[in-house]
């Protein structure tokens, strides 16, 4: 049984996979490949056409938007993901982004290291505390819930939530305020965090109209998928100071230069949310164990069938 790895996985996970399968890292013998583990590549009809004996696709993470599930289903290829294994790491990154934006961390480091600062604690670098501010989560899944726990306990923040799956009862259980619509959340929030999947409904969910509703002092944080935000709209909103700043671990096209990188009030990182030793080990081990089970025709817990 040969399994193609699109990108490196945790060493422990690699060792487990190597003990049970033959690992291949190119398409020199495509007919050998029965399993494929993807982290960030597109697995579409064209790629499936190259692998005539492909039986299983493993998604190294929870997001399924890079795999053509319907095409795989037509070919009787099993698809699975590894949900909720990286929630802690991504939640911590959300908090990091909020702190970095609030204290102008990137600009402060740049100006100080380039000797543009001649006095300590310059007034133009005055920040703000997270404590007692209002944060709104669009999407209230596993990642958002962990971030909410940190922000409520550590910073005593007021938390708002909006999701088509969130109702008043669920909001009460989380100790947050349920917003009936997106506009309500955007108008009230000092920080807006995107924690939802990319699909037809969420594509460009945040555009010009939504950004204009936000407070001019508000910050937008995206650790979900780049295309949830209209990048042209956010560029102009930031350039014209319609909102105070934004941070994103994702872009519509990755890896790719974006003019957003040129803005002082924008932080962009190369998809690092789940890139911790702990998260990679949890995701990798679950992904590999499911791949081995699927290739041996054993049931797998996170098969994607939609």
Active site residues: 225, 254, 271
What is the bridge-based pairing of β-strands 2-5 and 56-59?
A: unpaired
CB within 8 Å of 229: residues ≥ 6 apart: 194, 204, 205, 206, 207, 220, 222, 248
Are 4 and 25 in contact, with CB atoms under 8 Å apart?
yes
Beta bridge mates, 194: 138, 222
CB within 8 Å of 287: residues ≥ 6 apart: 9, 13, 37, 58, 59, 60, 80, 82
- The sign of the CA dihedral 39, 290, 299, 90 is negative
- The backbone region for 26, taken as left when phi is positive above 0, alpha when psi lies in -120 to 50, beta otherwise, is beta
Residue with tokens 């193609």, as numbered in its chain: 4
- Rounded CA separation 151/281 (Å): 26
């Amino acid at each position: 049984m040969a399994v193609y790895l699109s990108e490196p996985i945790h060493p422990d996970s690699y060792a487990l996979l190597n003990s049970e399968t033959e690992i291949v890292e190119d398409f020199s013998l495509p007919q050998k490949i029965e399993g494929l583990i993807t982290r960030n590549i597109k697995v579409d009809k064209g790629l499936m056409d190259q692998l005539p004996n492909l039986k299983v696709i493993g998604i190294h993470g929870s997001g399924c938007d890079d795999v053509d599930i319907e095409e795989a289903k037509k070919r009787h290829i099993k698809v699975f993901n590894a949900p909720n294994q990286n929630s802690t790491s991504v939640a911590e990154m959300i908090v990091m982004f909020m702190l970095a934006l609030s204290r102008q961390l990137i600009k402060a480091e740049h100006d100080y290291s380039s000797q543009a600062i001649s006095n300590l604690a310059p007034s133009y670098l005055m920040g703000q505390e997270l404590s007692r501010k209002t944060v709104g989560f669009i999407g209230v899944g596993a990642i958002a819930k962990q971030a909410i726990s940190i922000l409520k306990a550590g910073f005593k923040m007021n938390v708002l939530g909006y999701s088509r799956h969130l109702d008043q009862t669920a909001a009460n259980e989380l100790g947050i305020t349920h917003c009936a619509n997106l506009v309500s959340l955007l108008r009230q929030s000092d920080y807006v965090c995107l924690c939802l999947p990319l699909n037809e409904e969420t594509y460009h969910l945040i555009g010009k109209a939504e950004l204009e509703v936000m407070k001019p002092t508000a910050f937008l944080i995206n650790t979900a998928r780049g295309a949830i935000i209209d990048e042209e709209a956010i560029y102009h909103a930031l350039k014209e100071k319609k909102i105070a700043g934004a941070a994103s671990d994702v872009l519509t096209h990755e890896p790719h230069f974006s003019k957003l990188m040129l803005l002082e009030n924008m932080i962009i990182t190369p998809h690092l949310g789940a890139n911790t030793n702990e998260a990679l080990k949890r995701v990798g081990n679950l992904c590999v164990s499911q791949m081995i089970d699927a290739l041996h025709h054993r049931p797998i817990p996170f098969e994607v069938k939609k």
